[in-house]
Amino acid sequence: MASAAARVDLDGKPITGITICMIGAGGFIGSHLCEKLMSETSHKVLAVDVYNDKIKHLLEPDSLPWNGRIQFHRINIKNDSRLEGLIKMADLTINLAAICTPADYNTRPLDTIYSNFIDALPVVKYCSENNKRLIHFSTCEVYGKTIGSYLPKDSPLRQDPAYYILKEDESPCIFGSIEKQRWSYACAKQLIERLIYAEGAENGLEFTIVRPFNWIGPRMDFIPGIDGPSEGVPRVLACFSNNLLRREPLKLVDGGESQRTFIYIKDAIEAVMLMIENPARANGHIFNVGNPNNEVTVRQLAEMMTKVYSKVSGEPSIDSPTIDVSSKEFYGEGYDDSDKRIPDMTIINKQLGWNPKTSLWDLLESTLTYQHRTYAEAIKQAIAKPIAS
Ligand SMILES: NC(=O)c1ccc[n+]([C@@H]2O[C@H](COP(=O)([O-])OP(=O)(O)OC[C@H]3O[C@@H](n4cnc5c(N)ncnc54)[C@H](O)[C@@H]3O)[C@@H](O)[C@H]2O)c1
Ligand SMILES: O=C(O)[C@H]1O[C@H](OP(=O)(O)OP(=O)(O)OC[C@H]2O[C@@H](n3ccc(=O)[nH]c3=O)[C@H](O)[C@@H]2O)[C@H](O)[C@@H](O)[C@@H]1O
């Protein structure tokens, strides 16, 4: 373990321990961030969430070397007066709490808007009123669709990066019509970004906004019927992992033509650590955090995951590894999609000198090894169990 005293920031100044109020600490990103903060720094974490299953391994045994540096507070931020006290006790608040699975955006639009906008309001207010620094998690979905997607299909301009690269300080936010309730999430995230930015401009709030671009890795979401509801629809990594574990075809929504850039969670956490420990360089900025080198269509992702899973499980893939489904059938009415998401990296490079490292193949190999080790046996047992009549 690195000695905390030996750690310095990007300007060579020693890093002193701080207290972080992390809201949504029990989720996918929060669990990895807590792990990193405990194992490599001397910072303290007040971990706020309604669940703690994904950070249990960091909380329980008294023998852990970070004993006492992480405290779990089971709080629903919608209605708990303890929140302000925790924010006041901390030097920095990181807000990760949100509904952030696309299957919810068009089927539970009210919960989505409340979670991503209304519930975040008191967090911003308490930080601003108490002069506390805030790192808020937004999303690459605030960019919506690319400008290029509105050009004719055969237009050569579609190949010009000016029409698809997503830049924090230049790109517009392009959403579909109101009936396309998919955009309830992106729109709520955009409005909270604008509110935070305005708190910075008018009241001097010290903030950093993070726009993650498809961070993936172990502990993302849930496997339906094993550690989440049987009918639940998680994000694509968990959907495809579930299909592979059950030896079912992977479902390609609307032909799997949408494009995404995927980044390994551990690379992305390095970027967040730099933001935490270099406030002078991170404050007042909005950062894209993604891996522009890992772009694939969803169909290519399915093909690669099938190959990697076959390698890590030692089982040959099934005869028809993918199947096409319509978005209406898969997500229901009101779904829409981002066509392509490539992050511009200029701002994060300039401010924090950060770059992602892990290739898509390598990150899928370590993630699917984890999925196989964690779930294969449970799935086998669930399949073998006779269904109660
Ligand atoms: N994973 C990604 O690639 C990605 C991409 C873009 C944006 N984001 C954003 O990053 C943040 C974290 O994402 P994640 O992937 O870790 O999601 P996650 O669902 O795994 O984690 C969110 C956590 O917030 C908690 N939470 C939600 N509402 C709460 C409430 N009212 N009170 C207390 N806790 C509450 C949940 O229980 C969950 O543990 C979200 O804001 C999300 O929109 C993530
Ligand atoms: O991760 C991000 O950066 C952001 O994007 C995600 O949105 P999206 O990438 O559309 O969601 P996924 O569930 O990861 O789906 C990716 C693509 O795969 C497709 N898909 C998903 C699941 C499936 O079984 N099959 C399938 O073809 C979807 O239609 C979509 O085109 C979520 O909105 C958020 O977690 C987050 O804000």
Confidence check: pLDDT of 3 > 70: no
**Domains detected in the chain:** 98-380 (3.40.50.720)
Which whole-number Å values give the CA distances from 108 to 105, 192, 265, 291, in the listed order?
6, 19, 27, 30
Between CA 118 and CA 319 the distance in angstroms is 47
Could you say which of 143, 185, 309, 335 is catalytic?
185
Structure tokens at 241: 């992992």
Residue carrying structure tokens 């309604």: 50
Rounded to whole angstroms, the Cα distance separating 339 from 146 reads 7
Pocket flag, ligand 1, residue 119 (CB < 6 Å): yes
Q: Is the CB of 334 under 6 A from ligand 1?
A: no
Confidence (pLDDT) at 4: 47
- What does the alpha-carbon distance between residue 38 and residue 277 come to, in Å, rounded to a whole number? 14
Q: Which of 72, 76, 100 to mutate to test ligand 1, by most ligand atoms within 8 A of the CB atom?
A: 100
Check if 210 has its Cβ closer than 6 Å to any atom of ligand 2. no
User: Which positions ≥6 away from 315 have C-beta within 8 Å?
Assistant: 247, 309
- Would you say the CB of residue 86 lies under 6 angstroms from ligand 1? no
Query: Ligand 1, atom 1: nearest CA belongs to which residue?
Result: 215
* pLDDT (mean) for 326-350: 98
Q: Which amino acid is at 208?
A: T
Ligand number with the minimum distance to the CA of 105: 2
pTM assigned to the model: 0.97
Q: Is the pLDDT of residue 326 over 60?
A: yes
Q: Ligand 2: does its nearest atom lie under 6 Å from the Cβ of 252?
A: yes
101 C-alpha to ligand 1 centroid (Å): 9
47 pLDDT more than 60: yes
> Which pLDDT belongs to residue 386?
66
Amino acid at 221: D
Cα gap 125→119, rounded to integer Å: 11
Report the nearest atom of ligand 1 relative to the CA of 31. Answer: 16
For residue 45 and ligand 2, the question of a CB distance below 6 A is answered with no
Q: Which of 21, 22, 28, 94 to mutate to test the pocket of ligand 1 (most atoms within 8 A of CB)?
A: 28
Ligand 1 contact via 96 beta carbon (within 6 Å): yes
Q: Which atom of ligand 2 is nearest to the CA of 216?
A: 1
Q: Which ligand is nearest to the CA of 142?
A: 2
**Residue type for position 310:** S
Q: Atom of ligand 2 at shortest distance to CA of 103?
A: 13
Q: 97 CA to middle of ligand 1, Å?
A: 4
Q: Is the C-alpha dihedral spanning 304, 307, 313, 318 positive or negative? A: positive
What are 200-232's pLDDT values in tens digits?
Answer: 999 999 999 999 999 999 999 999 999 999 999
Contact (Cβ atoms closer than 8 angstroms) between residue 297 and residue 257: yes
Residue 129: pLDDT band by 50, 70, 90 thresholds? very high
Assess whether 185 carries a catalytic annotation: yes
Does residue 72 line the site of ligand 1, with CB under 6 A? no
The model's pLDDT over 17-39, given as tens digits with 9 standing for 90+, comes to 999 999 999 999 999 999 999 99
Task: Output the pLDDT for position 302.
Answer: 98
